[in-house]
Amino acid sequence: MKQLIKWSRANWLVWVIVIAYLLLAVTRTHVASTAALVALTTFRDLIVTLVVVFLIVGLFQVWVSEDFIVRHLGQDSGLKGLALGAGIGTVIHGPLVGVFPLLKTLLGKGARLGVVIAIVSTWAIKLPMIPLEIRLFGWKFTLLREGLLFASAFIMAPVMELALGKDWALPKAVDAVEPLATAPAATVQCTEPPEAAGDCA
Amino acid sequence: MSDWIMVGLGVAALGLSFAKDRGKTRTAVRVGLKQFVAMLPFFIAVFGVIGLLEVLLAPHQVQSLLGPQQGVLAPIYAALFGGLATGPPAAVFPLGRYLLGQHASIAAVATLLIAWVAVGTVSLPAEVRFFGARFAISRWALTMIVSVALGLLMGWIL
């Protein structure tokens, strides 16, 4: 029972969704089944990608040394680090949720915040889909969009670093070993006053 | 299609790792799958949200909001819609092309293509869990603003 409460606190969205679907199923059964079908289709389309992403996350944790991260993506990595991050964002494929574990691992290993922001800034560039985009929108539209997005990484990274401040740190309790139990409490602490963020380190 | 590129990448990475060090590779697979299983309920819930949005937002309602006659408002609406109705990246390209054919403005479509993939409103709770609320909300807001700005810029250039 106690474990169920703990689990529910971390996975509250699961209950919200279950209740929403139940309500919809009672009032408009047909609509609810369509929604469920869309959800299942999306899940089927992405499950392979998700598994691969997590395998790569595992490989990252085993192979990428903190030394490498600090040297190439760390605090002093400058523009080169941002460019590398922006490049990484265009190559990795999948939904934004899928990359969070990887980004957290990078941050945990000492990567610069701006580099992580650069990775998500170029998330809307999908290297394998450029042929599709050119076919649908033409090369001018595609090149312009990709170029502007890549450039935006170099604006978003410093802005985010400025917005979060030097002493920003990851919420500590969200950890690979015990991801379910203490996460919400820790995040609440970190959000209160900006000056207190250092306490979360 | 891009699934296979992804699988190929994963298999290649695993193979390379395995050739170098079997023990490390086994640890990597175990660590990766363990995290995947821990996150799975949340992922499933996110897909549930996508399903609900799909049936509750009517396509023609969206279209009438995105025309060039809406000016600056069109990309703002597009960012809100794209940010909420997050889905597989491949799905938004045909949708954007279709909207362009329905006389949506270039700014709106360009914004939609970016916001759909990069904003991630439905995954915001997951992001808060991973990085904390300050990070998640700042990134969300900044991505929204940037997607509109880039959309307007593209509409102005093209």
Q: Is residue A26 scored above 60 in pLDDT? A: yes
At residue A107, the pLDDT reads 87
Looking at chain A from residue 108 to 137, which residues have their Cβ under 8 Å from any Cβ of chain B? 117, 120-121, 123-124, 126, 128-129, 132-133, 136-137
Q: Name the residue among B54, B100, B135 with its Cβ closest to that of A38.
A: B54
Mean pLDDT within A57-72: 76
At residue A88, the pLDDT reads 82
pLDDT band at A178 (very low <50, low <70, confident <90, very high): very low
Q: Is B150 on the interface with A (CB under 8 A)?
A: yes
What is the C-alpha separation between A157 and B98, in angstroms, rounded?
A: 33
- Residue A190's nearest CA partner among B34, B133, B150 is B133
Looking at chain A from residue 132 to 161, which residues have their Cβ under 8 Å from any Cβ of chain B? 132-133, 136-137, 140-141, 144-145, 148-149, 152, 155-156, 159-160
Q: Which of B36, B153, B157 to mutate to test the interface with A (most CBs of A within 10 A)?
A: B36
Cβ pair A141:B110 closer than 8 A: yes
% of residues, chain A, pLDDT over 90: 17
Cβ pair B52:A20 closer than 8 A: yes
pLDDT tens digits, one per residue of A130-141: 877 888 899 999
By residue count, chain A amounts to 201
Cβ pair B131:A171 closer than 8 A: yes
Looking at chain B from residue 49 to 78, which residues have their Cβ under 8 Å from any Cβ of chain A? 49-52, 54-56
CB atoms within 10 A of CB B101: 9
Which residues in chain A have their CB less than 8 angstroms from residue B25's CB? 59, 62
Q: Sign of torsion, CA A192 A194 A196 A201?
A: positive
At residue A184, the pLDDT reads 37
Instruction: Confirm if A99 and A120 have CB atoms less than 8 A apart.
Output: yes
Cβ pair B131:A170 closer than 8 A: yes
Q: Is residue A9 scored above 60 in pLDDT? A: yes
Which residues in chain B have their CB less than 8 angstroms from residue A55's CB? 10, 13-14, 28-29, 32-33
At residue A185, the pLDDT reads 35
Q: Is A57 on the interface with B (CB under 8 A)?
A: yes
At residue B141, the pLDDT reads 94
Q: Is A55 on the interface with B (CB under 8 A)?
A: yes
Most confident of A35-44, A46-55, A123-132: A35-44
Cβ pair B46:A133 closer than 8 A: no
At residue B57, the pLDDT reads 66
At residue A109, the pLDDT reads 82
**A&B contacts, CB < 8 Å:** 259
Domain ranges of chain A: 1-63, 65-164
Query: Distance, in angstroms, between A198 CA and closest chain B CA?
Result: 13
Q: Which DSSP category does A122 fall into?
A: G
pLDDT tens digits, one per residue of B116-152: 888 888 888 888 988 989 999 999 999 999 999 999 9
* Host H or E run for residue B59: helix B59-65
pLDDT tens digits, one per residue of B37-87: 887 887 788 788 778 877 776 666 666 778 777 888 999 988 988 888 666
Cβ pair A191:B134 closer than 8 A: yes
